[in-house]
Amino acid sequence: MPDAMPRQTAAGFSGLAAGYALLSPAMLIIVAMLVAPMLALVTLSFWTQNGFELDTSFTLANYWALIEPADEPTMWMGIPFPFKNPVYAILMLKSLVMSLAVTAAVILIAYPMAYFLAFRVTRYKALWIIIITIPFWTSYLLRVFSWKIMLGFNGVINSGLMSLGIISEPLSFLLYNPPAVVITLTHAWVTFAVLPIYVSLEKIDRSLLEAATDLGDSKWQRFRRVTLPLSLPGTISAALLVFIPTVGDYVTPTLVGGPGGTMIGNSIQSLFLKQDNSPRGAALSIVMMAIVALLSLLFMWAVGYRKIRARSA
Amino acid sequence: MMTEPMADTIISLKDVRRDFGPVAAVDGVSFDIARGEFFSMLGPSGCGKTTLLRMLAGLDQPTAGSILLDGQPMAGVPANLRPTNMVFQSYAIFPHLNVVENVSYGLKRLKLARAEEKARVDQALALVKLEGYEQRGAHQLSGGQRQRVALARALVCRPKVLLLDEPLGALDKKLREEMQVELRSLQRSVGITFVFVTHDQEEALTLSDRIAVMARGKVLQIDTATGLYERPYCREVAEFIGTMNLFAGRVTKIGHEISVDAGSIGTLRAPASEARISVGDAVHVAVRPEKLSVLTGKARTGTNVVTGKLVASTYLGDRSRYLVQVPGVPAPVSVSLQHDGQHAAGVALPGSKINLAWPASAGIVLTA
């Protein structure tokens, strides 16, 4: 807002103008870094790549290519995929399943950590939070590589087991497969999940827990009837925080996934960079985003997120 | 202090102690509470009353001593298995549940038939006058309604003892007074023993059958409202309950009356006390503001008279309040005069000399 503006007028705009003023840096960044590229991506998905040229006439062919039916369905894991290019649908399904596995594993690990932090730690809470975030002081790539060292053919687990005489030759199923991707992603995302769960647990009024006990609940009943429902908003945010970005991840599958561990992100990357078909890559990205958004909304609707939020407000 | 067993005791505390590190929050407390009694624990914050209540609930454990509840020793019995229920200071209404779900919370483990559970919840809601609010969410309730939900939620479990931790503290004055009346009639109608914790002496006096006045983890006196007001054991109780004028002095004679030499004021007389007093002891002669009168003529025999200067007078409609500075007495003497025709309003002007009198029988000798 210009300084020359009279005070009274500024006060007339009141909170709204001040609010937008405060938001404007973030809004600018969002517009420049998110909205504009998204619009570009949507536009691109309606174009066609002709060698080095982009044909800018409108077409839905890129989307059609993703779902074009075939006479003979391709079987994968016993599921028929009746598409001409079944790899997209297969990778999409596989990515979703792997992401769900990651999300489930992250929540199962993060919830007890957050619970411990919220209810058992009474002193040095900040120190505990710092300790939990220590792995994040190193780069993501280094953390992924450290899992290669852990799980590799001559890695920590294999050489450890061999020196203990439990196995005679290295296990080859540890690395370069979907479970390795799930393990690595789980480790990478646990801390992100701990914090929102911790906040929602920390917010719970301790007298509610005493009231539940006073009304006859055992510790487990109290957890199930009071603690868990009241920490659901944070747990749901944590789950979405992990699920949404991991579906599209391509770095981890590239490094530890091997040929069997590829995900939809790898396919998009390949379309953009190797196959020089960015319009189809754009279409695939948009379809993936739509599916993830739809699933997230479905999930929130299924757990009654709105109701929970309204009540805990 | 009351130590002899009562006819029908529901709670019996023996030398109960609770240490928090080097601090004794509750310092060797023993008393009994009778079945069906409305019992209050009154004292300033930090006097140990809430700790004592939490130990009754099982939410805190005594460091030493024993608690008997309906004859059963409570040591080792966890809170969820005790026949007590509590109304928390913050009400602790479950925010994710509506009124019915809150009230029926403690009934779920009883696995009652649906119709019976509903009947009990309806009855509890009717008791606290919350019919029609069944489906309201916790966040849609006012402070008074939350308080009623908390009461219903505890009462629906039919506890042997209902524990109330300053339940009226968060309400505004008018609502608090309404709830006091309701709470008292509710207690009479359900017949459950209420143990009520408060720092508000007026609240305790209005509600309770008996009151335990506490300070520094100890019980100073347990008595009825009248007993506490008319016959306080010590200076602390006397000053905590209502206003009390104190005149320091030394005992000079003990007969059927006690004579106290109060220095420049002269000799004051007071009725013989139950407390052990011997000649030469430093004591206070205590007298309530409403026992004092303004002396216009000559003093009758058997009357204590002090002379002072009127500092302030406040007209309060039905009565006037005088503050009189008496030489040799540190705090101004407080006098409450009823406007019953005998004392006309606004007679004395500030600064004027005034004689105050009270019959010897209206005073109390306090040792501490």
Q: What is the CATH number of the domain that holds A239?
A: 1.10.3720.10
Tell me how many helices (H) and strands (E) chain A has: 15, 4
Q: Does any domain span residue A173?
A: yes
Taking an 8 Å cut-off on Cβ atoms, the answer to whether A214 and B79 are in contact is: yes
C-alpha torsion angle, residues A232, A237, A238, A242 (rounded to 10): 140
Taking an 8 Å cut-off on Cβ atoms, the answer to whether A225 and B137 are in contact is: no
Domains of chain B are: 9-236 (3.40.50.300), 243-367 (2.40.50.100)
Decide if pLDDT at A2 tops 70: no
> What is the predicted pLDDT for the residue at B98?
92
Decide if pLDDT at B280 tops 90: no
Quote the mean pLDDT of chain B. Answer: 88
For residue B242, give how far its alpha carbon lies from the nearest alpha carbon of chain A (Å).
Answer: 33
Q: Which residues 197-216 of A have a C-beta within 8 angstroms of B? A: 205, 207-208, 210-216
Decide if pLDDT at A15 tops 60: yes
Question: Using CA of residue A96, residue A98, residue A103, residue A108, what is the dihedral sign?
Answer: positive
> What is the predicted pLDDT for the residue at A39?
94
At A130-178, the pLDDT tens digits run: 888 887 788 888 888 888 888 888 888 888 888 888 888 888 888 888 8
pLDDT band per the 50, 70, 90 thresholds, residue A309: low
**Parallel, antiparallel, or unpaired: how do β-strands B84-87 and B267-271 relate?**
unpaired
Q: Does any domain span residue A52?
A: no
User: Residue B104: closest CA among chain A residues belongs to which residue?
Assistant: A215
A93 and A32 assigned to the same domain: no
A86 and A161 assigned to the same domain: yes
Tell me how many helices (H) and strands (E) chain B has: 8, 20
Decide if pLDDT at A72 tops 70: yes
Q: What is chain A's Cα-based Rg?
A: 25
Decide if pLDDT at B1 tops 70: no
User: Residue A209: closest CA among chain B residues belongs to which residue?
Assistant: B92
> What is the predicted pLDDT for the residue at A313?
45
Q: Which residues of B touch A230 (CB under 8 A)?
A: 95-96
A30 and A95 assigned to the same domain: no
A157 and A248 assigned to the same domain: yes
At B141-182, the pLDDT tens digits run: 988 899 999 999 999 999 999 999 999 887 888 888 888 888
> What is the predicted pLDDT for the residue at B193?
95
Q: Give me the amino acid identity at A183.
A: I
User: Residue B80: closest CA among chain A residues belongs to which residue?
Assistant: A216
Decide if pLDDT at A6 tops 70: no
A29 and A102 assigned to the same domain: no
User: Residue B86: closest CA among chain A residues belongs to which residue?
Assistant: A214
Q: Lowest-pLDDT range, B1-15, B43-57, B112-126? A: B1-15
Q: Which residues of B touch A310 (CB under 8 A)?
A: 137, 139
Return the structure tokens found at A47: 């174009």
Distance separating the N- and C-terminal Cα atoms of chain B: 16
Q: What is the mean pLDDT of residues A122-134?
A: 87
Distance CA(A164)–CA(A176), nearest Å, equals: 24
Q: Does any domain span residue A29?
A: yes
Q: Which residues of A touch B79 (CB under 8 A)?
A: 210, 213-214
Taking an 8 Å cut-off on Cβ atoms, the answer to whether B92 and A308 are in contact is: no
Taking an 8 Å cut-off on Cβ atoms, the answer to whether A213 and B78 are in contact is: yes
| CB distance B57 to B6 below 8 Å | no
A25 and A173 assigned to the same domain: no
A235 and A307 assigned to the same domain: yes
Higher pLDDT, B71 or A51: B71
- ipTM metric: 0.82
Name residue, tokens 């075939």: A70
Q: Lowest-pLDDT range, B33-37, B212-216, B281-285? A: B281-285
Full strand arrangement of the beta sheet holding B38-42: B84-87, B161-165, B193-198, B38-42, B210-215, B218-223
Higher pLDDT, B340 or B202: B202
Distance CA(B307)–CA(B357), nearest Å, equals: 9
Q: What is the mean pLDDT of residues A189-208?
A: 93
> What is the predicted pLDDT for the residue at A1?
41
Measure CB to CB from residue B92 to each of A208, A217, A312 and give the nearest one.
A208
A9 and A91 assigned to the same domain: no
> What is the predicted pLDDT for the residue at A228?
93
Task: Please report, rounded to a whole number, the percentage of residues in chain A having pLDDT higher than 70.
Answer: 93
> What is the predicted pLDDT for the residue at A286?
95
Higher pLDDT, B70 or B1: B70
Higher pLDDT, A212 or B172: A212
Q: Give me the amino acid identity at B32.
A: D
Taking an 8 Å cut-off on Cβ atoms, the answer to whether B137 and A208 are in contact is: no
Decide if pLDDT at A179 tops 50: yes
> What is the predicted pLDDT for the residue at A217?
94
Residues of B with CB under 8 A from a CB of A: 57-59, 78-81, 84-86, 88-90, 92, 94-96, 105-106, 109, 137-139, 153-154, 157
A91 and A204 assigned to the same domain: yes
Q: Which residues of B touch A205 (CB under 8 A)?
A: 90, 92
Q: Which residues of B touch A213 (CB under 8 A)?
A: 59, 78-80
> What is the predicted pLDDT for the residue at B315?
83
Q: Which residues sit opposite A11 in a β-bridge?
A: none
> What is the predicted pLDDT for the residue at B88?
94
Q: Does any domain span residue A108?
A: yes
Taking an 8 Å cut-off on Cβ atoms, the answer to whether B80 and A213 are in contact is: yes
Task: Please report, rounded to a whole number, the percentage of residues in chain A having pLDDT higher than 90.
Answer: 47
User: Residue A308: closest CA among chain B residues belongs to which residue?
Assistant: B96
DSSP-assigned letters across all residues of B238-252: HHHSS--EEEEEEEE
At B120-142, the pLDDT tens digits run: 999 999 988 898 998 998 889 98
Measure CB to CB from residue B85 to each of A205, A215, A225 and give the nearest one.
A215
At A242-264, the pLDDT tens digits run: 999 999 898 899 888 888 888 99
> What is the predicted pLDDT for the residue at A52?
81
| CB distance A284 to A112 below 8 Å | no
At B291-329, the pLDDT tens digits run: 998 887 777 777 889 999 999 888 888 888 889 999 888
Higher pLDDT, B222 or A57: B222
For residue B144, give how far its alpha carbon lies from the nearest alpha carbon of chain A (Å).
Answer: 18
Interface probe for B, chosen from A205, A213, A215, A223 (most Cβ of B below 10 Å), is: A215
For residue A239, give how far its alpha carbon lies from the nearest alpha carbon of chain B (Å).
Answer: 20
Q: Which residues of B touch A210 (CB under 8 A)?
A: 59, 79, 86, 88, 92
| CB distance A111 to A196 below 8 Å | no
Count structural domains, chain A: 2
Q: Which residues of A touch B139 (CB under 8 A)?
A: 310-311, 313
Task: Tell me which H or E stretch contains B177.
Answer: helix B173-190
| CB distance A235 to A200 below 8 Å | yes
**How far lies A154's CA from each of A68, A141, A148, A174, B163, in Å?**
44, 20, 10, 11, 66
Taking an 8 Å cut-off on Cβ atoms, the answer to whether A213 and B86 are in contact is: no
User: Residue B138: closest CA among chain A residues belongs to which residue?
Assistant: A311
> What is the span of the domain harbouring residue A30?
2-45
Interface probe for A, chosen from B50, B69, B77, B80 (most Cβ of A below 10 Å), is: B80
For residue A226, give how far its alpha carbon lies from the nearest alpha carbon of chain B (Å).
Answer: 8
A103 and A26 assigned to the same domain: no
Q: Does any domain span residue A215?
A: yes
A95 and A135 assigned to the same domain: yes
> What is the predicted pLDDT for the residue at B273?
76
A137 and A259 assigned to the same domain: yes
Q: Does any domain span residue A217?
A: yes
Measure CB to CB from residue A215 to each of B89, B137, B153 and give the nearest one.
B153
pLDDT band per the 50, 70, 90 thresholds, residue B236: confident
Q: What is the mean pLDDT of residues A3-24?
A: 67
For residue A251, give how far its alpha carbon lies from the nearest alpha carbon of chain B (Å).
Answer: 41
Taking an 8 Å cut-off on Cβ atoms, the answer to whether A214 and B105 are in contact is: no
Task: Tell me which H or E stretch contains B213.
Answer: strand B210-215
Task: Please report, rounded to a whole number, the percentage of residues in chain B having pLDDT higher than 90.
Answer: 49
Q: What is the mean pLDDT of residues A92-117?
A: 95
Distance CA(B289)–CA(B291), nearest Å, equals: 6
Q: Does any domain span residue A195?
A: yes
| CB distance B214 to B203 below 8 Å | no
Q: Lowest-pLDDT range, A102-106, B49-53, B155-159, B229-233? A: B229-233
Measure CB to CB from residue B92 to each of A210, A217, A230 and give the nearest one.
A210
User: Residue A309: closest CA among chain B residues belongs to which residue?
Assistant: B96
Q: Which residues of A touch B86 (CB under 8 A)?
A: 210-211, 214
> What is the predicted pLDDT for the residue at A310?
57
Rounded (5°) CA angle B72-B196-B122: 85
Distance CA(B73)–CA(B12), nearest Å, equals: 9
Distance, CA of B34 to chain centre: 17
Q: What is the mean pLDDT of residues B183-206?
A: 91
Higher pLDDT, A9 or A108: A108
Measure CB to CB from residue A211 to each of B58, B92, B137 and give the nearest one.
B92
Q: Which residues of A touch B105 (CB under 8 A)?
A: 212, 215, 225
Q: Does any domain span residue A127?
A: yes
